[in-house]
Amino acid sequence: MPNLTSIPAFELKGSLTTLMVLHLFKSDQEAITVQLADKVAQAPQFFQHAPLLIDLQDLGEPHLSALDLTHLVELLRKHGLVPVAIRGGTDPQKQLALNLTLGILPQNSRSESREKPQIEVESEPVILNTSAKIISHPVRSGQQVVALQGDLVVLSPVSHGAEILAHGHIHVYSALRGRALAGVNGDTQARIFCQQLEAELVSIAGQYQINEGLPHHLQGKAAQIFLVGEELKIEAL
């Protein structure tokens, strides 16, 4: 039997190497698609099999939460680039990156202020000290709304295939048909309230229940969802 431990088979070392970094400034898939195709067309060989870091640190809200990371990675791979890791981004995006087998680099504290291309898209005035994010348009299939701080209040329907997440409570004053995840950072006191419970999935601080597990008599009714210990409770309002 060969000696498996005494002769070193490898060596792990840190090394400094140049890595191409993709700094994102906006989440507009269409613009990214068009501009990336242009860029790659200029030097197709250069971009072939080139490892790439996706940097989300320059991406402000609402672009950050609107960014479809899966789509971006697919797009980059289509052009022959090899995304290896992300830097910055929200927690769900970091989780997504891991699922896409990308690494996560720590945020770097940069002092230089990068010159950003002018963004012509609206940047709505953001009031920072409000504790709740209020959404008054329908949340459609495929859309995701995240309230990173505090509560999320939705005044219109949340469709099948849509996802809403909040640090705190979630209120839906209409039909909740998609997924709702409250207390995403682990707040076990967070609750979900909705006027019409038809959710695909509800979750509080990671404890979840799928539609099939919702009490039959509460389907389509006003309900609240909260945690008692480890157990998810679903009750009529």
Residues of this chain that interact with another protein (CB under 8 A) are 28-30, 33-34, 66, 120-122, 137-138, 140-143, 156-157, 159-161, 175, 177
Q: What does DSSP assign to residue 118?
A: P
3-state SS class at 134: strand
Coil vs helix vs strand at 35: helix
Residue 86, CB-side half-sphere exposure with 13 Å CA sphere = 27
Residue number, 170 or 175, with CB nearest to another protein: 175
Length of the chain: 237
Task: Pull the structure tokens for residue 115.
Answer: 């010159």
d(CA 64, CA 28) in angstroms, rounded, equals 10
How many CB atoms lie under 10 A from the CB of residue 148?
17
| Shortest distance (Å) from residue 175 CB to another protein | 7
Kindly tell me which of 76 and 204 has the beta carbon lying closer to another protein.
76
The answer to whether 120 and 28 have CB atoms below 8 angstroms apart is no
Which is nearer to another protein, 83 or 157 (by Cβ)? 157
**Which of residues 131 and 141 has its CB atom nearest to another protein in the complex?**
141
In the complex, least distance from residue 137 CB atom to another protein, rounded to whole angstroms: 7
Give me the least distance between CB of 63 and another protein, in Å please. Answer: 11
The minimum distance between CB 29 and another protein, in angstroms, equals 7
> Based on CB atoms, which residue is closest to another protein, 11 or 30?
30
Query: In angstroms, rounded to a whole number, what is the distance separating the alpha carbons of residues 86 and 89?
Result: 8
* Smallest separation, CB 159 to another protein (Å): 5
